[in-house]
């Protein structure tokens, strides 16, 4: 049996590994997946359109009414996780309510998390390459100033 404690631990680990770089809307999508809701159902429950989760709209912040609607609809979510990406997705007092015996759902969640982790690792590698390039350029500029 793959229980919610393991899922919550995965989300906690993921949050630490990602250095809290997920947006609130990305965490909302994770919540929908965790709750086994279609995007249509999830959006209906929180009075939002799926368009808010696509393209440039995905980068825009949510308003306080949405936070209130999320918390009243899903009172088990950890607001600290939702807002700043710290801690577990589900409040510890509610973990026992979330159990799944469906290995397919667990595997889908794990696959989703692995893909997100891969994307973030690739972005991090790009940042390291850019830092290296900029450090090289800075070093060249320093040598040029000394010589000139």
Q: Could you please report the per-residue DSSP string of 48-117?
A: --GGGGSGGGGGSPPPHHHHHHHHHH-TTB-HHHHHH--S-SB-GGGGGG-EE--HHHHHHHHHHHHHHH
43 touches 29 (CB < 8 A): no
Q: How many CB atoms are closer than 10 A to CB 92?
A: 12
User: Per residue in 69-126, pLDDT tens?
Assistant: 998 999 888 888 888 888 888 887 655 555 555 566 667 777 778 888 888 888 889 9
Query: Is pTM beyond 0.75 here?
Result: no
Q: How confident is the model at residue 44 (pLDDT cuts 50, 70, 90)?
A: very high
- The structural domains of the chain, with segments of one domain joined by +, span 2-147
Averaged pLDDT of the chain: 79
């Amino acid at each position: 049996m793959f229980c919610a404690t393991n899922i919550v631990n995965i989300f906690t680990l993921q949050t630490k590994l990602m250095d809290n770089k997920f947006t609130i809307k990305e965490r909302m999508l994770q919540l929908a997946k965790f709750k086994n809701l279609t995007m249509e159902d999830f959006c209906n429950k929180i009075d939002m359109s799926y368009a808010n989760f696509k393209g440039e709209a995905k980068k825009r912040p949510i308003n306080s009414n949405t936070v209130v609607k999320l918390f009243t609809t899903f009172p088990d979510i950890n607001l600290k996780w939702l807002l700043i990406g710290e801690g577990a997705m589900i409040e510890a007092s509610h973990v026992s309510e979330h159990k799944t015996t469906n290995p397919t759902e667990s595997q889908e969640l794990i696959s989703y998390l692995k893909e997100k982790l891969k994307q973030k690792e690739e972005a991090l590698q790009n940042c390291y390459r850019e830092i290296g390039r900029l450090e090289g350029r800075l070093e060249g500029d320093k040598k040029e100033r000394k010589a000139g």
